[in-house]
A and B are shown apart, each in its own frame.
Chain A
Amino acid sequence: MAAVISCTDLVKTFGPTRALDGLMLTVEPGEVHGFLGPNGSGKTVTLRTVLGLLRADGGSVRLFDADPWADAVELHRRLAYVPGDTNLWPNLTGGEIIDILGSLRGGLRDERRDELIDRFDLDPRKKARAYSKGNRQKVALVAALASDAELLLLDEPTSGLDPLMEAVFQDCIVEARARGCTVLLSSHILAEVERLCDRVTIIREGRTVETGTLADLRELTRTSFAVTTRRSPAALERLEGVHGFVIDGDEARFDVDTEAIDEVVAALAPLGVTALVSSPPTLEQLFLRQYSAGRSEHATPADSTLASPTP
């Protein structure tokens, strides 16, 4: 089965700015795909190009194996989109807007609409101008989730939601996935990504820097070690794949590339280990490293080799 979304070497320029610069993104049917990157890295531009609202300047973009620029109307029947910055008509009520957006998209399920309004604790009689950012976001979410779309394109849909509503949102995405819905979720909330996403793509400055399952990504990064040895561990610092080596009293702390772990452990054994703590990278570390690479010493040559897309 063909990919739901497939962007290859996507380029989009705005005057002198290259918003997308060789972006790769593949979303497979039925998966929840996390789409991550620092602010201004091109996530929204990618989504708008996938929707055919923007025309790509280079590379190719396929949506349901068709060209979204040429066939926007037909393709849009199969998807629902929640923009990152939800702007609503100030003098219409939330309920009216949900119905209008739903009907324009080809109808929504009334019982699911009412259930979602209830679950998101939204007052549909209020005029949109009276809603807070979170409530405006809920209007857009209910309109999208109450449809029978095959694909949900969600651009930071939970910014502005409180933790309770965030949990409701996560439940809704799990249910959507169970219905067979494919989801592309742009998000900064790592717990949300960890719970929901089968695979993630991380972009920076319009380029894909990593893509894969979270387990894959964890393997591609470093494990932290803290060891106490009877003999001096100073020699470890010179090993390939050891980073950030510090000695603090009789404890040495350092990070090790995944492929160098075996070698490092072998080198540790003769030193007489009395204590050893190794911890896998946290998601935060993983993302911070990817987001800030190129801007700080955390950058590693590994980044460029990871940019190849998965099919």
Chain B
Amino acid sequence: MSTLTGLGRMTRLVLRRDRVRLPVWIVGSSAFLVISALSLPPLYKDQASIDQYAALTRGNPALIAMAGPGYGMDDPNIGQILVNEVQLWGCILLALMSMFLVNRHTRAEEDVERADVLRSSVVGRHAPTAAALIAVTAAEAVVAVISAVGFVASGYAVTGSIALAASFLGLGIVFVGVTAVAAQISGTGRGALGLAGIVLGASFVLRALGDIGENALRWLSPLGWAQAVRAFAGEAFWTLGLCVGFGFGLVIAAFWLSTQRNLGSGLLPGRLGRSTAPQWMRSPVGLAFRLHRASIASWSIGIALFGAIYGSIANDIEEMIADNEIYADFLAQLQGASLVDSFLATSINLLALLATAYAISAALRIRTEEGSGRAEPILAGPIDRARWAMSHLIVAVVGTVLVMASAGFGLGLAYAFVSGDSSQVLRMVGAALVTVPAVLVIAGGTVALFGLLPRMALAAWGFLAVAVLVGIFGQLLRLPQWSRDLSPLSYVPGLPAEQMRILPLVMLTALAVALTAAGLVGLRVRDVRA
């Protein structure tokens, strides 16, 4: 088929370009899924604790919305707990993997006009897209295989493990198709990601509504199909056929749509904007705010929704924990604090980890600006390098405060709703803001890397990986105390379960400032990279 000429070479090009990126995705997501699976058996050692888990999740709308319908929970086993805990996350993870990687090799390539170069050579019209789909699907199949092997090795039943891992892959395939179509509709790579993200969000909401109401809405969502494979509860593999069929159908639709448009433009027309810049945008900070605005807004909304999920189940926590010592242990050994407050404190800690991801990405914006050459015309003006970097960092700090305040707001609002205590909103916003200095330490570390070791700046994500590992799994995996002390978040007083202490916050802030200053000094004495 001449439209696929050069498919083999194109696939190799994708693998070559992503020879680091693909393994990072594969190892990162498999490790997350397998470590999550490993952490469950110690928590649910006997049938009694499993039964209790099932009793709590069944009929709890908040948990069902967050974790899934709980197929087979009337005759529960440890596998169903695994499904409840990781299936949605695994599916979403692979959906995101499809979105980012497929977009990167299709629509985003057109944005930078590299696609023109490729397509002008002896390469068929559909070969670049097909190559991306093949490479991404293959990488996701590897994740599924590793996960299945990891689940079985952790002691879960074989058929259920395969069904669960296959459901991740099913979602991955659906979103390979969704992203391929979005890439045809949108005029830009960013827009394509946005469209695919809307589809993912809608899938989540539809299945949440369908699962809570136990109605047909869940069958309108690919996530619903993936869950309906009923892993560990009398597997029904045919539902994954829906995922695969839908995914491939979308791919074919994308191929057809690509014949209906010009390379480089989308089916949706671009809009015109302002012909002059408003006054506020004409300063370094104003420009930085304009560039960070969309990211701050979407992170704030997303994290508020996340917080609301935690807040909505806070009231049920006492019931959930009552007889499960290890779970209580996980929530922290906090003498004198109520279980609900411990849960809220733990939730805030998890939300702070999410906010850390935001803070790192916001701090790394200066790296993007420098590397893309967009900083150059600014630095060629009468703007000191440190001032240019600070303009972005000020916005990143304000953004971190807003993101964390939104997290606390979502958590507090939902908790106020279920507890009937409206004072919880401000209390949770306050408790959430206490974590900001620790988050900023990691952002400061990012700036230090950027200034002093610019080639290594992306290693800042390693800070987050360490903080997540010791913050979420430290207690479960019994990691030594010194390793848990590596995360700046471990020094934050666990409000509302603990007493407020000012000193650690002052120390963390000082450390964040020192790291940032070191980075700025480094930036001043090194070459501006192109």
Chain A residues within CB distance 8 Å of chain B? 44, 48, 51, 53-55, 72-74, 76-77, 79-83, 85-93, 95-101, 103-106, 123-127, 129-130, 133, 140, 143, 153
Contacts and interface: CB of A to CB of B under 8 A. Distances in A.
Given A83-B376, A95-B276, A100 B282 contact: yes
Contacts of A104: 282-284, 287, 378, 381-383
Contacts of B528: 48, 53-54
B274 A96 contact: yes
Given A72-B384, A129-B188, A87 B282 contact: no
Interface residues of B, number: 39
Which secondary structure dominates where chain A touches chain B?
Answer: mixed
B270 A101 contact: no
B325 interface: no
Contacts of A99: 276-277, 281-282
A77 B290 contact: no
Contacts of A140: 377
B374 A96 contact: no
Nearest to B113: A133
A51, A74, A153 — most chain B CB neighbours (10 Å)? A51
25 contacts: A55-B527, A72-B385, A73-B384, A77-B382, A79-B380, A81-B380, A87-B373, A87-B374, A88-B374, A92-B277, A92-B290, A95-B273, A95-B276, A96-B281, A99-B276, A100-B287, A104-B283, A104-B381, A105-B381, A126-B272, A126-B273, A129-B187, A130-B187, A130-B270, A153-B380
B296 to A, nearest CB: 14
Interface string B326-364: 000000000000000000000000000000000000000
Nearest to A122: B275
A80 B377 CA distance: 9
Contact of B379 (A53, A93, A103, A125): A53
B300 to A, nearest CB: 19
Interface string B229-272: 00000000000000000000000000000000000000000111
B275 A125 contact: yes
Contact of B377 (A55, A83, A96, A123): A83
B382 A73 contact: yes
B114 to A, nearest CB: 13
B188 A90 contact: yes
B297 to A, nearest CB: 13
B510 interface: no
Contacts of B24: none
Contacts of A53: 376, 379-380, 527-528
B507 interface: no
A47 to B, nearest CB: 9
Given A53-B527, A100-B282, A127-B270, 17 more contacts: A53-B379, A72-B379, A73-B383, A76-B382, A83-B376, A87-B374, A88-B374, A92-B273, A95-B275, A96-B274, A104-B283, A104-B284, A127-B271, A129-B270, A130-B187, A130-B270, A140-B377
